[in-house]
Amino acid sequence: MPIDLTARFQSSRDAAAKHAASYGIPTNRVLTVGDRTTNFSWLTICPNPSIDLVSPRLVQRYEGLQDVEVELDDLQVSGISKAYALEQIKGRGKFYVVGLTADQLSALVSERFDQAVIESFGGIVCDLIPGVEVEEQNQLHWSMILRRRGRS
């Protein structure tokens, strides 16, 4: 009987990721997935993924690809637990807020989404860059590149 190493290591990987903030790793930040298909629903990713500006090397990787533009002020998100199905973090109507939890967003957004209000509370509203997919990393977590929405 084959052993599924991904399933065996997933819980250990998630448990270790929860402790990143206590070791002073500033890139582990709150990420909440918003879904606007029916009203608004929110899903805070736990443990917090690593969110940082894309590296020049990553920008070069996408250079020359038609219809894909990665810029130095885009956000690279890695370490989204594979406990989340791809459909939970990507798809029609999905967008992302860095820095605020689902509970905070539920209190701020009822019927109408106001980006200025979200930003005034420290949130960064983002979208997945067109042409760039959510990637599986090391069979243990998801990774993606987000673009901040223009100021409202």
As a three-state string, the secondary structure of 45-102 is: CCCCCEEEECCHHHHHHHCCCCCCCCCCCCEEEEEEECCCCHHHHCCCCEEEEECCCH
CB of 148 closer than 8 Å to CB of 124: yes
Single-letter residue type at 103: D
Domain boundaries, the chain: 5-15+27-148
Q: In a structure prediction context, what are the per-residue pLDDT tens digits for the chain, which is 152 residues long? A: 566 555 555 555 455 555 555 555 567 889 999 998 878 899 999 988 999 999 999 888 888 888 888 998 999 999 999 889 999 999 999 999 999 999 999 999 877 888 999 999 999 999 999 888 888 877 788 999 999 998 54
Q: How far apart are the C-alpha atoms of 68 and 88, rounded to whole Å? A: 23
* d(C-alpha 98, C-alpha 34), whole Å: 11
**Closest to 30 in 3D by CA, of 116, 105, 93:** 105
Give the pLDDT confidence score for residue 43 in this predicted structure: 96
What pLDDT does residue 138 have?
74
List the CATH code of the domain at 5-15+27-148. 2.30.110
pLDDT of residue 40: 87
How many CA atoms lie less than 13 Å away from 82 in the CB half-sphere? 16
- pLDDT for 152 equals 44
